[in-house]
Amino acid sequence: MELLCPAGSMPALKKAVAEGADAVYIGLKDDTNARHFAGLNFAGDKLLKAADYLHQHGKKLHIAINTFAHPDGWRRWQYAVDTAVDNGADTLILADLAVLDYASNKYPELDVHLSVQASATNTAAIQFYQQHFNVSRVVLPRVLSIHQVKQLARQTSVELEVFAYGSLCIMAEGRCYLSSYMTGESPNTAGACSPASFVRCQETAQGLESRLNDVLIDRYQPHENAGYPTLCKGRFDVEGTVYHALEEPTSLNTLELLPELMQCGISAVKIEGRQRSPAYVEQVTRIWRQAIDACARDSSNFSSQPAWNQGLEAVSEGRQTSLGAYHRKWQ
Amino acid sequence: MQYSLGPILYFWPKHQVEEFYQQAMQSSAEILYLGETVCSKRRELKTKDWLSLACELAGKGKQIVLSTMALLEAPSEVKTLKTYCDNGDILIEANDVGAIQFLHENNKPFVAGAAINCYSQHSLQRLLKLGMQRWVMPVELSRDWLQKILCGCEELGIRNQFEVEVLSYGYLPLAYSARCFTARSENRPKDQCDLCCIRYPNGRQTRSQEGQELFVLNGIQTQSGQCYNLVNDLPGMQGLVDVARLSPLSVDTLNWLERFRANERGENPQRVERDCNGYWHNIAGMSLAT
């Protein structure tokens, strides 16, 4: 089982390697990837250095080109594919039909993984991408229960990758437009959800208010931890009851599912967080490396260590974690 | 301009669905979409009921299209999808690429629904090769974006090979989740949801703590908090859009259809101050450009 870790910068990438990642995924410095944030990602010399560094250490480089090409920007997506290949990417992570078509025709030998942004959640969709674009692996959206993941693993011949840890996206990825509804920018069109440029936090008489494009997402009392106003994690009013109508600020953590994931033949576990710090990458990679090694040694006696969970909670959104959709009760 | 009535996105009792389609058959809509697109537990009409309703309505002067689920997870859902895709003559709206896979295998044409991610002329070209004959634009795209895509289609020589449909009235489907937000709003787990969606024929309104309408909870689907309404934007659709879709809220939606028709060239503008149209104008979807 491959441990696939995120890197938004060279220091993060080096930490991932030092702590035992088998592969690292990155994005290019433009809107061709779904973490298009200022000060993040790779271009030019840095890209080449990242590839060299990983290959010198016997690790693989995955490059995410996982947004959808704009009608007047097609060359940018083509160029991203060419640049990634020329700089030694081992694998491209793609979502757009047109980009998949371009990459699989121009580079028939290239290893292509289907991005979570393509939202393939069932056998027919997986067959579609296998048959038409020869994808070798599918990254599953965070909407499936562990039972459904196992069913898919039995019914498909493609490699499957699942999200193991990180920010919990509660909607089928690639099919959520809540962010553009509120701000005009979404993961699909702009490579970002709840973009920072629309965020405003203000101390008021009623408490600390966090807003996205002027919409009140949440209001915190002095004893509460204020979080980033991700729009699906605010407290809203449904016919008189104020609560986290969609989801609480929380992170996904699947450590305890590791034996089941390993047993059903999941090829890779992915750590979310290209936008996070090198210290986050270091901490999360270290814990997951230990857990995977322990589980591989003796999966029947594997149990998730309290120290691991505490370590992960410390870097989690809202300092709490969840099994998300893997756990049927969450749904 | 042609007009279509989209699939009913909410969970209505069977008799209400049948009544709606009886009235819809008397309306001036050229195209009717039928079928459950949100949740496989909503079975007031079962697969065979939808198929027989579609057959019953077909051949009476309107194009009948069966619309399929957007988020398919369980093998049973995929099996139902295959049953629809294997039907004889009724055109299918694919809302997941799984449907495109089945229809392509069967060599059948299809409508690419708004939940299929298609953002450029190059993706459209790929869908055309697979059998697409009508494209419903993703809800978050604007007139500018559409114009650019269609210019690109001219360059590729494919502009005349498909129709363009735009969701123009109703609450916009904005997200799909494993979680049922309506069940959650009643403090029920999804597996014991008691089919509670049937109590909310237009979903559950969700507001900010300041009372601003933000979202509508519709089972596993999250919709726009305000009604999207392009009635006053119809003149700008000339030459770009072939079909304007109205998403049914109740029988009253048929009155809106006539208001749309009456304002095609801007001759009967409507008051829409409580609605939104931002996406079409390339700004935040919830905004209203006047």
- Nearest residue, CB atoms, A125 vs list B101, B120, B211: B101
pLDDT (average), residues B180-188: 96
Token pair belonging to A321: 């974690």
Q: B198 in a domain, yes or no?
A: no
* This prediction's pTM: 0.96
For A206-248, what is each residue's pLDDT tens digit? 999 999 999 999 999 999 888 889 999 999 999 999 999 999 8
- Nearest residue, CB atoms, A328 vs list B77, B191, B284: B191
Tell me the pLDDT band of A321, cut-offs 50, 70 and 90.
confident
In this structure, the answer to whether residues A47 and A130 fall within a common structural domain is yes
Which domain range does residue B50 map to?
2-170+228-281
In this structure, the answer to whether residues A57 and A138 fall within a common structural domain is yes
Q: B113 in a domain, yes or no?
A: yes
Q: How many CB pairs under 8 A join A and B?
A: 228
Q: A75 in a domain, yes or no?
A: yes
Q: B64 in a domain, yes or no?
A: yes
Residue B123: closest CA among chain A residues belongs to which residue?
A98
Which domain range does residue A147 map to?
2-168+250-330
Q: B8 in a domain, yes or no?
A: yes
Tell me: ipTM over 0.95: yes
In this structure, the answer to whether residues A77 and A37 fall within a common structural domain is yes
pLDDT of B138 higher than 90 = yes
Specify the 3-state DSSP secondary structure of A62: strand
Q: A36 in a domain, yes or no?
A: yes
A98 contacts chain B (CB < 8 A): yes
Q: Which of B76, B96, B155, B221 to mutate to test the interface with A (most CBs of A within 10 A)?
A: B96
CATH number of the domain residue A154 falls in: 3.20.20.70
pLDDT of A318 higher than 80 = no
Tell me the pLDDT band of A320, cut-offs 50, 70 and 90.
confident
A148 contacts chain B (CB < 8 A): yes
For B13-32, what is each residue's pLDDT tens digit? 999 999 999 999 999 999 99
Cβ <8 Å between B119 and A188: yes
In this structure, the answer to whether residues A202 and A75 fall within a common structural domain is no
Token pair belonging to A145: 């229960």
Residue-wise over B171-184: b if at least 16 C-beta within 10 A, else e?
A: bbbbbbbbbbbbbb
Sign, Cα dihedral of A45, A50, A53, A54: negative
What residues in A contact B103, CB-CB < 8 Å?
A: none
Q: How distant, in Å, are the alpha carbons of A236, B91, B99, B103, B128 from that of B133? A: 41, 10, 14, 12, 7
Contact A260, A326 (CB under 8 A): no
Angle between helices B97-105 and B75-85 (to 10 degrees): 50
Residue-wise over B35-56: b if at least 16 C-beta within 10 A, else e?
A: bbbbbbbbebbebeebbebbee
In this structure, the answer to whether residues A69 and A212 fall within a common structural domain is no
CA distance B181 to chain A (A): 6
Cβ <8 Å between B209 and A219: yes
- Nearest residue, CB atoms, A121 vs list B73, B179, B279: B73
CATH number of the domain residue B269 falls in: 3.20.20.70
B48-B51-B56-B57 Cα dihedral, nearest 10 degrees = 140
Q: How distant, in Å, are the alpha carbons of A123, A148, B79, B94 from that of B102? A: 11, 21, 11, 10
A94 contacts chain B (CB < 8 A): no
Token pair belonging to B72: 């398919």
Find the distance separating the first CA and the last CA of chain A, reported in whole Å.
27
Tell me the pLDDT band of A124, cut-offs 50, 70 and 90.
very high
In this structure, the answer to whether residues A18 and A96 fall within a common structural domain is yes
In this structure, the answer to whether residues A22 and A109 fall within a common structural domain is yes
A12 contacts chain B (CB < 8 A): no
In this structure, the answer to whether residues A130 and A223 fall within a common structural domain is no
Cβ <8 Å between B207 and A236: yes
Cβ <8 Å between B284 and A213: yes
